[in-house]
Chains A and B, each alone.
Chain A
């Protein structure tokens, strides 16, 4: 009997303590005038889960930092910033729709996501109709922001990235004969290649050949031998980072020594074991995480302290910047109503890690391009456009 009594006492005190803990956090919430909810989408599992890993960490880090600095100030009152949900789209367009539905079931001020353009494209129309403010941190497909006035992005658009890639090839590397190898089963890869080729069409005395591939390919020897036969002086490979080591290695083994250029999805490429093959490779990036600026350094050290090295890449920095930019928009607008925020974003400027962002009338971010290259395999800043 005595034993049972002790057990009861322990349970009772545990209950009291948890009630106390609850009331404590409630007391902390009372300091705020209210709570503002955000939601996020990223691929937490699936082929591109390493994007999602950094994304969710950086998103949470930014929210913690905002609250630690006193929350969001609206009309002189302080609001707590909270994540309603962070959903997984598995880099799959169908999954992205259910992830969106999950997010849309909450009363959120903005939805931050997703990574793959195919995923973001799958829900932006529904978001526009429902009046949900979407800011995609990493989807560059040119058509996304044209969906409507509630759709924005933190990254550059392929409508800008394509011509910049063409400019990089023709101006920086004086390419006259270009081979393009792009995946045809991805909205991102195909869209970027299309925008770039449209820009190449307008440049005189440059020829190019387009070779298709698939995102799950590992063997590119066919496309590479055709590029070499064509006499290409530059190869442009605007595909995702997981396929880059195979492509670069096979191109170098086949005897192609010229520059190989890529788009922003090269971010996260593993070069281990094949460092020398990555000489003379360049890609357009949103941010240079080795930059010596205050913003980048403080982000990198805060991320490292909280989560270590895993997922610390450009994608994560974009999710972080998106949260911070939305907070700035709320404070400038003195509102967290999406209908107000969408107008504020159009007129504001935000200092991101990758440079100043402003918006055109579509909601496409105007921001500088960073060019990254590899030196003995180490990611190195090459220049900017």
Chain B
């Protein structure tokens, strides 16, 4: 029993990272119907910003986690630049072109980071000095609680923002009908840029929580994390903000449980099997709306 509860806690920790990452995927997909495969690499960019900023913050006497603000600025810059340079020119050329451009951007960022930072894995110094939470035999990593809390707060804020603000309404209008949105005075390009800014800012927050849990970063960090978060977003229903949260947590728990009780070396087969099954049986995911694509 202790093992089960411990695994549940471990699964929540992993899942909350997936959830934070999946929020970024779902945000961008929800607004512009594009899967931004470079999202995982934005997290890598955030990770390296933290790596370089934490010593600076400590030196000038600020708490180490303040460096997340630097990471947000850098990630938003990289995200918006990616959108402007790579995605905007191919917008309107179909989803396949957008998808391939996103994959290409992902490679550009990974290899750019290789040139800039080298390939040696680096440890991001600890940002929070939190004690381990112990309940009898069970140890809960403190960052689990923090990541979960940040994820839930982000989820609530995003939902409120999209539902109730004027900008949020415009964001919901754009995927419905781009031309009609323009007609009612929505600047579609600006909305898309803002969406990317929010998605990339979320990536910076995710990078803070990722590096708190998993200390070592390198230029390829985004590949696996991005794929898993994509599975999580699809599982939860891509485009749905609460769905990303639920899908992330669920995927984390499933992965850890499969590792503990079934196949530790081949658990990823199960992860990707879930992706295939969801796409086959319920493509709209757990919480997504089942809407047929307009032709």
Contacts and interface: CB of A to CB of B under 8 A. Distances in A.
Interface string B218-234: 10100111000000000
Interface stretch (A48-56, A167-175, A196-204, A328-336): A48-56
B240 interface: no
Given A45-B111, A253-B141, A255-B139, A225 B123 contact: no
A248 to B, nearest CB: 9
Interface residues of B, number: 39
A158 B124 CA distance: 32
A375 interface: no
- Assign chain A's interface to a size class: 35 or more
Given A49-B118, A270-B123, A246 B265 contact: no
A216 B224 contact: yes
A273 B124 contact: yes
B193 interface: no
B215 A246 contact: yes
Contacts of A218: 214, 216, 224-225
Contact of B120 (A183, A213, A253, A268): A268
A222 B214 contact: no
B139 A48 contact: no
Nearest to A248: B215
Nearest to A272: B123
Contacts of A253: 132, 139, 141
B14 interface: yes
A152 B184 CA distance: 73
Contacts of A101: none
Contact of A225 (B10, B216, B220): B10
Nearest to A245: B216
Given A50-B120, A212-B266, A243-B216, A221 B114 contact: no
B125 interface: yes
Nearest to B141: A253
A226 to B, nearest CB: 6
B266 A274 contact: no
B277 interface: no
Contacts of B114: 45, 49
Contacts of A50: 118-121
A226 B258 CA distance: 13
Q: Quick one: which of B118, B132, B216 has the most chain A CB within 10 A?
A: B216
Contacts of B26: none
B146 to A, nearest CB: 14
Contacts of A46: 119
A245 B123 contact: yes
A272 B121 CA distance: 11
A53 B120 CA distance: 10
B263 interface: yes
A222 B10 contact: yes
A310 interface: yes
A84 interface: no
Contacts of A184: 265-266
Contacts of B124: 273
A213 B125 contact: no
A226 B121 contact: no
Contacts of A212: 263-266
A214 interface: yes
B134 to A, nearest CB: 8
Nearest to B2: A229
Interface in A321-364: none
Given A50-B118, A253-B141, A254-B139, A221 B10 contact: yes
Interface string A215-233: 0101101110110010000
Interface string A248-286: 010001110000000000001011111000000000000
Contacts of B259: 222-223
A236 B213 CA distance: 22
A315 to B, nearest CB: 12
B126 A45 contact: no
Interface in B259-279: 259-260, 263-268
Contact of A45 (B119, B121, B266): B119
A32 interface: no
Contacts of A183: 265
B59 interface: no
A161 B59 CA distance: 44
A242 interface: yes
B10 A249 contact: no
A23 interface: no
Contacts of B216: 218, 242-243, 245-246, 270
A52 to B, nearest CB: 8
B265 A225 contact: no
Contacts of B7: 221-222, 225
A211 B259 CA distance: 9
A218 B119 CA distance: 17
Interface string B1-13: 0010011001001
Contacts of A223: 259, 264
B207 to A, nearest CB: 13
Contacts of B260: 222, 225-226
B214 A242 contact: no
A45 B125 CA distance: 25
Nearest to A229: B3
Nearest to B261: A222
Interface of A: 45-50, 53, 183-185, 211-214, 216, 218-219, 221-223, 225-226, 229, 241-243, 245-246, 249, 253-255, 268, 270-274, 310
Nearest first, the 7 closest Cβ-Cβ pairs linking A and B are: A212-B265, A49-B119, A222-B259, A184-B265, A221-B10, A273-B125, A50-B120
24 contacts: A45-B114, A49-B114, A49-B120, A214-B265, A214-B268, A219-B14, A221-B10, A222-B259, A223-B264, A225-B10, A225-B260, A226-B3, A243-B216, A245-B216, A249-B215, A253-B141, A270-B121, A271-B123, A272-B122, A272-B125, A273-B125, A273-B215, A274-B123, A310-B118
Given A49-B114, A50-B118, A254-B139, 10 more contacts: A46-B119, A47-B119, A212-B265, A219-B14, A222-B7, A225-B10, A268-B120, A270-B121, A270-B216, A274-B123
